[in-house]
Amino acid sequence: MLPEVLEAMLPWLRDGHANPSGSYASSRLARQAIDDARSQVADWIGAEADEILFTGGGTESVNTALHSMDRLVGTGATVVSAIEHSAVLRCAEDLLRPVKYAPVRPNGRLDLEKFAALLPGAAMISVMAANNETGVLQPVREVANMARERGIAVHSDAIQAAGKTDLQVRQLGVDFLSLSAHKFHGPKGVGALYVRRGIRFFPLLKGGTQENGRRAGTENVAGIVGMGAAAMAMKRIASDHTGLHLMRDTFESKLLAELSGVAVNGDPIHRLPNTSHLAFEGCEAVDLIQLLDQAGIECSAGSACMAGKIRPSHVQLAMGLDDARGRSSLRFSFSILNQAAEAWQAAELVKQAVTRLRQAQVHGVNPGTAQAACGLSFS
């Protein structure tokens, strides 16, 4: 979290015990704090305050949107991109309607021509703003325009994109948009859902009348206040992501120049400024993760472990990456809290890890013991 986010939350963590639905003075203060945060999030994404619904996180926002759309629209299929987050995919598959999967090109961008071919007979659409593995940006505005012409409801999972690219809901033209505070330096366990004014809405969680009857349950006041503070911070940063671009490009250029067999997965232009998804030929991602963790670098692989075997993720498969490339790929991401020198230092440590892992494999060293052979450390 950003320091100012924590500072905004602390009074509500220490003393903000009042239920915002109460009628006493401290309750009214809690209610006002929630209303202020709602206005802050709305202002950041170009919405109205009454279009913002607070949730328990991104997954709840996604599920709320899709279940509301499911009740809103008539018969027909759900169209989702083949690279959606599992929160979208599993929820869509759980609805009692067919699901059509829109393919992406090898660069990870939605194939709009093939997407359009799936729209006849469709009733609802969900397409993410940016992929959570590759960082590749998706053409949400074009998707929404196609949907509007056909009267199809549209949701966009903007959880990964928030805070790293400009999200203005009026320009995007979507009916629903999901956010999660921890993706833009807010706290975990709180999210928001944009619900376009005028569209019918059906709550997922039923019970009390919180959130204007749209989401039952006592509100997480401290978390919501933190989300509002994070939104204000992101608005101050606005669209200037020069520092993120510089760190990512420094990191990638050093690795590409000094290591063979390194490739960028996904569109090199249409992607988030902070995300680098790289394949390291001849290396297993799981081994690299262990080595880099020892060196103080935390990164992730999109691959999943099934019955003890590592296999490429559904995102990598949708992009057409072969098994070897998928298993050798890692995602690195930077934030505004990183320093420029850390990008160079991280690239140097990744280079050392890749080089020594490759050497260990050439000499027949078990990858499980390569960790000891590498001896990586910060300098």
Question: Could you say which of 237, 261, 289 is where a domain stops?
Answer: 237
Predicted local confidence at residue 200, as pLDDT: 95
Average pLDDT over residues 350-366: 86
Question: Could you say which of 204, 237, 270 is where a domain stops?
Answer: 237
Segment 216-241, tens digit of pLDDT: 999 999 999 999 999 999 998 876 78
Question: Do residues 33 and 149 share a domain?
Answer: yes
Average pLDDT over residues 276-287: 95
pLDDT at 34 over 50: yes
Q: At what angle do helices 340-362 and 285-294 cross, to 10 degrees?
A: 120
Question: Do residues 83 and 43 share a domain?
Answer: yes
Whether 73 maps to a domain, the answer reads yes
The tally of domains found in the chain comes to 2
Predicted local confidence at residue 307, as pLDDT: 39
Range of the domain at 38: 3-237
pLDDT at 39 over 80: yes
> What is the residue-averaged pLDDT of the chain?
92
User: In terms of DSSP H, where are the helices of the chain?
Assistant: 3-14, 25-45, 58-72, 86-94, 112-117, 140-150, 169-172, 210-213, 221-237, 242-258, 285-294, 314-318, 323-327, 340-362, 370-374
> Can you tell me the distance from the alpha carbon of 266 to that of 277, in angstroms, rounded to the nearest whole number?
8
Predicted local confidence at residue 306, as pLDDT: 42
pLDDT at 67 over 80: yes
Question: Do residues 276 and 231 share a domain?
Answer: no
pLDDT at 199 over 80: yes
DSSP state of 343: H
Segment 118-150, tens digit of pLDDT: 999 999 999 999 999 999 999 999 999 999 999
pTM of the predicted model over 0.95: no
Pairing of strands 275-280, 99-102: unpaired
Question: Do residues 150 and 26 share a domain?
Answer: yes
Query: pLDDT-derived band of residue 213, with 50, 70 and 90 as boundaries?
Result: very high
Query: Which residues are designated catalytic?
Result: 305
Question: Do residues 58 and 102 share a domain?
Answer: yes
Place of tokens 């109205």: 48
Long-range contacts of 354-359 (CB under 8 A, 24+ apart): 354/259, 354/262, 354/280, 354/283, 354/288, 355/259, 356/291, 357/283, 357/287, 357/288, 357/291, 358/282, 358/283
Query: pLDDT-derived band of residue 15, with 50, 70 and 90 as boundaries?
Result: very high
| CATH (domain of 120) | 3.40.640.10
Question: Do residues 34 and 167 share a domain?
Answer: yes
Query: pLDDT-derived band of residue 58, with 50, 70 and 90 as boundaries?
Result: very high
Question: Do residues 327 and 233 share a domain?
Answer: no
> Exposed, middle or buried: residue 192 (CB in 10 Å: 0-12, 13-18, 19+)?
buried
205 or 378, which is more confident: 205
CA angle 6, 9, 10 (to 5 degrees): 85
Question: Do residues 95 and 205 share a domain?
Answer: yes
pLDDT at 8 over 70: yes
Average pLDDT over residues 173-197: 98
| CATH (domain of 329) | 3.90.1150.10
Whether 224 maps to a domain, the answer reads yes
Predicted local confidence at residue 195, as pLDDT: 98
DSSP string, 222-286: HHHHHHHHHHHHHHHHTT--HHHHHHHHHHHHHHHHH-SSEEE-S-SSSB-TTEEEEEETT--HH
Percent of the chain clearing pLDDT 90 (strictly above): 89
pLDDT at 347 over 70: yes
User: Where is average pLDDT lowest: 88-92, 145-149, 272-276, 298-302?
Assistant: 298-302
